[in-house]
Amino acid sequence: MSFFDDLPEAPAGLREPQPGRAEWSGPPSDELPGIVTSGGFVLRGPNAVVALKAVEVFSTGCILDLVWSVRRSDEAGQDWRDVMERSFERPGLPGIMVGAALPDGRKAFAGDPSMVEGIGPVLVPQEGSGSSAGDEQAVGHAQYWLWPLPAEGDLRIVAKWDDVGLAEGSVTVPAESLARAREQVGKYWS
């Protein structure tokens, strides 16, 4: 006889209600996004880049898929190890400030401690990782949820990476591309 043999069975058909996820916190779980694939370089220097790889557009917001890379130049052993350590001290974009400028003039900043949940706009980190490509390069990616999705107009993604000497730069996602991707959003269920 097992210790657990005497456990009562749950009544048939009883199901605990699941809390809903707030729109501002991440993409809908029941949608296939439309994709804007023509990204571009947000920052580009002699030894470091940050690029917008793609934008996944959902009915309520979008995921910005960013990649970054820093390569070794003339750093000596310990100096390069310091660069590598800074590159992996936190997931996502190491020391890179990221923001989004919406067409109506509002701004969203990644990791903004003053963000008021549910008011927007917000830029919420979703996932990220980094790795080294040998002893000469560090690479990684990060995704951010931007809510709400701009209704009309161009979306500008802005970044700054002081640790590697890259001043503020940006790339624009054209309104037409966002509109086409918005039309491609598919609901899982009718």
pTM given for the model: 0.81
User: Average pLDDT, stretch 129-144?
Assistant: 74
Distance in angstroms (rounded) separating the CA atoms of residues 125 and 93: 10
**Cβ–Cβ < 8 Å for 157, 173:** yes
Q: What is the pLDDT of residue 7?
A: 73
Residue with tokens 């959003």: 185
pLDDT in tens, 100-126: 999 999 999 887 666 666 677 999 888
Higher pLDDT: 150 or 59? It is 59
Q: Where are the domains of the chain?
A: 33-184
**How many whole angstroms separate alpha carbon 185 and alpha carbon 32?**
6
Q: What CATH number does the domain located at 33-184 have? A: 2.60.40
